[in-house]
Amino acid sequence: MTLRIGIDHDSATAPYEQLRAQISRRARSGELPVGYKLPTVRGLAEDLGLAANTVAKAYRVLEADGVIETRGRLGTFVAAAGEAAGREAAAAARAYAERAHRLGLESGAALDAVRDALRAVYDDVG
């Protein structure tokens, strides 16, 4: 299996974010299976024509999100992130709901704000 990542250098979306979004989407869908070994930072940077720091930044964010894990000298692998991501999303949703309630927003207005934010984020990453 090959990674098959494409970077649109003319896009308004930063290359690290394009890389992060593609790996995240493919890992969460199962297209990149748990335990799949990712290329080294230098190797992927060379393949994509990016700076190593750009790939390293994407890997750091993916690791913070629980999508990938680094195992020292063994390399970087797709993590079993589905359940952890779901738990983190539920916690973030709960925190938002509590904050919206404290601000006095009705549930409809709070949901509208979430929908607007999701549209903005998902439209930005394609």
Tell me: pLDDT of 118 over 70. Answer: yes
Look up residue 93 and give its two tokens.
């949703």
Q: Which residues contact 87 (CB under 8 A, 6 or more apart)?
A: none
Residue 46 neighbours by CB distance under 10 Å: 13
Look up residue 36 and give its two tokens.
């799949």
Tens-place pLDDT, residues 83-114: 666 777 788 899 999 999 999 999 999 999 99
Report whether 48 contacts 19 (CB < 8 A).
Answer: yes
| Sign of the Cα pseudo-torsion (61, 73, 29, 6, in order) | positive
Tens-place pLDDT, residues 38-57: 999 999 999 999 999 999 99
